[in-house]
């Protein structure tokens, strides 16, 4: 949760196809969510936000209080309201920040022993009873921040990882068919060593998340009143390049070899009074470009559309009653955000089979067959490409073949390219990837790592 802490972060746009491991059913677009505040009737404000955006937002966000076990195990005032909203329309989900224990009433070491397991079994049951089975859960969100009760520093890294495992196991045990997904969510500035030390293991993590707000330090922000035009643009870009690009690379490189999707559970522009970049269109464009590039494997994002005590971020015109009377102080960023959604591809979600290789063990210098299929939900022309890459870093491209094909709505086309691994390449493990582009190559609709195989 953003309230009560410093917010720093941004990311770089990476256009190179990186070695990610998307699931076979990965959508062409990440799930869009929004945070609209911690009030009892918050769900209906998501509908008002969708109306402003001109795009249906299927995921709302809520945060648990940190004051009592009752508000961790069964905050019925939250769960019932969100359950009503989720059940009102197919495809809706809750992104839920879950407290590991109340402030001053627990510890990571106790959690790590399983002392709180029964409380999280209760939470899982209460979520399911409220109709929130497919929720994305963020246990101990922003755990690398010293402002959190479950702070993972000061030698608590192993206890945090163990506590996370206990919570996930308890909730899955109580509701094995609920379809809960779990987001492991440190802050952007966590060290590489702490990333490894606090990571609970692939079996317990569905998303690797981080929050980022447009703040700058070392004199870059706030931008002086006389710095406009090129001067302002240079400040925005410099802050992005210095402060945020390395952090995005760190998280992406950590998630990719583990086959985990990234998430951006909270992000937003920020006002100058709290060291923000103000009406920063550069930040919004870079963020959306990164989030919606399939090569970065972002599973979902949630904009923090809220005027918080420690920073102002709201882009929409949605007021606290669900009307449309609010006037944002970030009009240019808001217009860019809306226009981006207005121009998203309307292709829908592509359905593709996982590409396979025949024979399963190939001989270098000899041809082998790749097999895969693509189903288009609409009538359109797509470019379907199959790549052979080395299975280990630096994931070198070895061979490729692409097809430009017209699809009718709902049509499935099968592709069987014949490829060869040159004898100049070493024996070892390789991988076939599936890529789908728009007809002019301008947008990547799908980038997925499929099947590994051996070449002798």
Locate 381 and state its tokens.
């022309």
CA distance to 75, 413, 421, per residue, from 46 (Å) = 20, 38, 51
Report helix angle 281-292 to 230-239, nearest 10.
40
Look at strands 212-213 and 181-184 and give their pairing. Answer: unpaired
Residue of 142, 181, 387, 400 marked active site? 142
CA angle 235, 236, 241 (to 5 degrees): 95
Report helix angle 157-174 to 117-129, nearest 10.
40
Is residue 266 annotated as a catalytic residue, yes or no? yes
Is residue 142 annotated as a catalytic residue, yes or no? yes
| Cβ–Cβ < 8 Å for 239, 221 | yes
Residue of 38, 73, 181, 266 marked active site? 266
Give the 3-state DSSP-derived string for the chain, with helices as H, strands as E and coil as C: CCCCCCCCCCCCCCCCCCCCCCCCCCCCCCEEEEECCCCCCCHHHHHHHHHHHCCCCCEEEEECCCCCCHHHHCCHHHHHHHHHHHHCCCCCEEEEEECCCCCCCCCHHHHHCCCCHHHHHHHHHHHHHCCCCCCEEEECCCCCCCCCCCCCCCCCHHHHHHHHHHHHHHHHHHCCCCCCEEEECCCCCCCHHHHHHHCCCHHHCCEEECCEECECCCCCCCCCCCCCCHHHHHHHHHHHHHHHHHHHHHHHHHHHHHCCEEEEEEEECCCHHHCECCCCHHHHHHHHHHHHCHHHCEEEEEEECCEECCEECCCCCCCCCCCCCCCCCCHHHHHHHHHHHHCCCCCCCCEECCCEEECCEECCCCEEEEEEEEECCCCEEEEEEEEEEECCCCCCEEEEEEEEEEECCCCEEEECCEEECCCCCCCEEEEEEEEEEECCCCCEEEEEEEEEEEEC
| Cβ–Cβ < 8 Å for 101, 164 | no
| Cβ–Cβ < 8 Å for 349, 28 | yes
List residues with catalytic annotation: 142, 266
């Amino acid at each position: 949760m953003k309230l009560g802490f410093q917010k720093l972060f941004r990311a770089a746009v990476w256009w190179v196809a990186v070695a990610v491991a998307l699931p076979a059913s990965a959508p062409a677009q990440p799930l869009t969510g929004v945070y609209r505040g911690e009030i009892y009737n918050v769900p209906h404000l998501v509908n008002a936000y969708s109306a402003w955006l001109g795009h249906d937002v299927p995921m709302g966000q809520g945060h648990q209080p940190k004051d009592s076990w009752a508000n961790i195990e069964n905050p019925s005032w939250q769960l019932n309201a969100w359950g009503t909203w989720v059940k009102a329309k197919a495809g809706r989900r809750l992104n839920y920040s879950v407290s590991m224990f109340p402030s001053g009433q627990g510890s990571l070491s106790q959690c790590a022993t399983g002392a709180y397991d029964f409380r999280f079994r209760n939470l899982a049951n209460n979520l399911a009873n409220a109709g929130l089975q497919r929720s994305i859960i963020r246990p101990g969100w922003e755990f690398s921040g010293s402002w959190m009760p479950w702070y993972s520093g000061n030698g608590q890294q192993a206890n945090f990882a163990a506590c996370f495992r206990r919570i996930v196991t308890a909730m899955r045990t109580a509701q094995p068919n609920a379809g809960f997904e779990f987001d492991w969510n440190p802050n952007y500035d966590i060290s590489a060593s702490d990333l490894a030390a606090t990571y609970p293991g692939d079996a317990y993590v569905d998303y690797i998340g981080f929050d980022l707000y447009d703040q700058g330090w070392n004199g870059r922000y706030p931008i002086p009143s006389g710095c406009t035009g090129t001067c302002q643009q240079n400040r925005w870009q410099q802050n992005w390049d210095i402060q945020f690009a390395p952090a995005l690379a760190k998280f992406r490189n950590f998630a990719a070899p583990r086959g985990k999707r990234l998430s951006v559970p909270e992000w937003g522009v920020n006002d100058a009074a709290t060291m923000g970049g103000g009406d920063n269109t550069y930040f919004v464009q870079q963020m959306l470009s990164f989030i919606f590039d399939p090569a970065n494997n972002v599973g979902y994002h949630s904009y923090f559309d809220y005027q918080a005590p420690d920073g102002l971020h709201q882009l929409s015109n949605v007021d606290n009653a669900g009307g449309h009377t609010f006037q944002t102080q970030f009009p240019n960023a808001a217009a860019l955000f809306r226009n981006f959604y207005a121009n998203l591809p309307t292709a829908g979600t592509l359905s593709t089979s996982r590409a396979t290789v025949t024979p399963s063990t190939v001989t270098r210098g000899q041809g082998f067959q790749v097999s895969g299929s693509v189903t288009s939900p609409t009538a359109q022309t797509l470019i379907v490409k199959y790549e052979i890459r080395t299975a280990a870093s630096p994931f070198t491209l070895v061979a490729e073949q692409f097809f430009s094909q017209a699809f009718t709505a709902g049509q499935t086309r099968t592709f069987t390219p014949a490829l060869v691994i040159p004898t100049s390449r070493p024996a070892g493990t390789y991988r076939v990837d599936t890529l789908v582009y728009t007809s002019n190559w301008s947008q990547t609709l799908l980038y997925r790592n499929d099947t590994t195989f051996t070449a002798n």
